[in-house]
């Protein structure tokens, strides 16, 4: 499929997300956050769910965790406009609680559609909820972070969520190590 056709199908998904009534999160959102990035992005990042800044702006990772993500991306030799960024749920869970399983399930058709269109060479999973949703429901981050898992013809790399280092400065070093591992995989597979 040519990139402009793919871009227009990604925009169709984004329009459906913005009007989505499928779970309770639509009742409390200001803006849904479909995700963003080029339709030929080789690397896709999937986080947990929009926070307050993302809900206000309708864009993923634009708050404090997003600022840190941008820095870590640069350290991995990636620029944010080159990658596709989204979340397992597209609307903010109230008080930044973890998304409930039925909310993740209600949103999965959008994420699956985005992955099928993008066919990224590598999918980077930011944090436990994204990792458990896409790789293994019982995965523990301390065991799987920084490693590559192949599933359904796709490559996944779970890494710690940037917000972890905002809450606990001791997480900064493992997070940087994860982005180094990511840089090595990206270099090999692109
Ligand atoms: N945290 C996430 O998981 N996703 C965002 O979009 C912002 C913060």
Cα of 51 vs centre of ligand 1, distance in Å, is: 6
Cα of 151 vs centre of ligand 1, distance in Å, is: 24
Q: Of 92, 162, 149, which Cα lies nearest the Cα of 122?
A: 149
Q: Going residue by residue through the chain (190 aa), what tens digit of pLDDT does each one get?
A: 888 899 999 999 999 999 999 999 999 999 999 999 999 999 999 999 999 999 999 999 999 999 999 999 999 999 999 999 999 999 999 999 999 999 999 999 999 999 999 999 999 999 999 999 999 999 999 999 999 999 999 999 999 999 999 999 999 999 999 999 999 998 887 6
Beta-sheet strand order (sheet of 84-87): 84-87, 43-47, 122-126, 154-159, 149-151
In order of their start, the domains of the chain are 3-189 (3.40.470.10)
Report how far apart the first and last C-alpha atoms of the chain are (Å, whole number): 19
Contact between 39 and 118 (Cβ < 8 Å): yes
Name all residues whose Cβ lies below 6 A of ligand 1. Answer: 47-51, 54, 60-61, 63, 65-66, 87, 126, 163
The pTM of the full predicted model, rounded to 2 decimals, is: 0.97
């Amino acid at each position: 499929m040519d990139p402009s056709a793919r871009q227009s199908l990604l925009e169709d998904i984004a329009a459906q997300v913005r009007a989505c009534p499928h779970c309770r999160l639509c009742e409390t959102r200001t803006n849904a956050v479909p995700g963003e990035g080029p339709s030929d992005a080789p690397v896709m990042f999937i986080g947990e769910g929009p926070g307050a800044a993302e809900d206000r702006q309708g864009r993923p990772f634009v708050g404090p965790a997003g600022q840190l993500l941008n820095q870590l991306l640069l350290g991995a030799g990636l620029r944010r406009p080159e990658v596709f960024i989204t979340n397992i749920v597209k609307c903010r869970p109230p008080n930044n609680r973890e998304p409930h399983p039925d909310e993740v399930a209600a949103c999965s058709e959008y994420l699956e559609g985005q992955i099928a269109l993008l066919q990224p060479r590598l999918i980077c999973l930011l944090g436990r909820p994204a990792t458990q949703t896409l790789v293994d429901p019982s995965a523990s981050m301390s065991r799987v972070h920084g490693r590559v898992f192949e599933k359904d013809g796709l490559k996944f790399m779970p890494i710690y969520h940037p917000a972890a280092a905002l809450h606990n400065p001791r997480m900064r070093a493992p997070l940087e190590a994860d982005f180094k591992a990511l840089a090595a995989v990206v270099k090999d597979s692109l």
